[in-house]
């Protein structure tokens, strides 16, 4: 080996060492940057975080105001709604469907006694009327009342 070959070999080693150092320095920074964030996490600036925090507080305040107004509206609407009129219908042995209809009309549960009597007759429910006490309110329609006072086999 002569002097020039040795110099060329040494300068090649020097150049490759410099290239490796530069390569390591560049990729070490990128790895350090990627390792600062955990998976499924996002980095944001502190000012953005403060803005988001302020927005969350504003939304929470708006929600509380709306919830309070909704609660107030519900309580006033509940006060305005009349309670359904409750009536205990007592059916004794020998009562006809017409007598039951008249009794319900007199109590204000139904509007027209004859119409309810026709409803029972049309559906052939008159034979299935049961004896006893039944709780009925004015919010019930003919079908619901008929289901309460009759029992089909």
109-137 pLDDT, tens per residue? 898 999 999 999 999 988 889 999 999 98
Instruction: Give pTM, 2 decimals.
Output: 0.47
Give the whole-angstrom CA distance, residue 102 versus residue 107: 9
Give the whole-angstrom CA distance, residue 16 versus residue 95: 113
Between 146 and 32, the more confident residue is 146
8-37 pLDDT, tens per residue? 999 999 999 999 999 888 887 655 555 566
34-68 pLDDT, tens per residue? 556 677 788 888 999 999 999 999 999 999 999 88
């Amino acid at each position: 080996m002569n002097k020039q070959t040795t110099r060329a070999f040494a300068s090649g080693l020097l150049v490759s060492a410099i290239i490796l150092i530069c390569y390591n320095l560049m990729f070490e920074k990128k790895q350090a940057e990627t390792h600062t964030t955990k998976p499924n996490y996002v980095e944001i600036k502190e000012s953005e975080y403060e803005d988001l925090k302020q927005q969350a507080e504003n939304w929470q305040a708006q929600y509380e105001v709306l919830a309070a107004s909704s609660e107030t509206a519900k309580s006033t609407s509940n006060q305005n709604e009349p309670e359904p009129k409750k009536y205990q219908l007592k059916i004794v042995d020998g009562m006809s469907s017409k007598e039951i209809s008249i009794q319900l009309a007199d109590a204000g549960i139904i509007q027209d006694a004859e119409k309810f009597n026709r409803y029972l007759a049309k559906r052939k429910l008159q034979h299935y009327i049961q004896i006893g006490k039944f709780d009925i309110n004015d919010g019930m329609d003919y079908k619901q009342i008929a289901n309460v006072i009759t029992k089909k086999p």
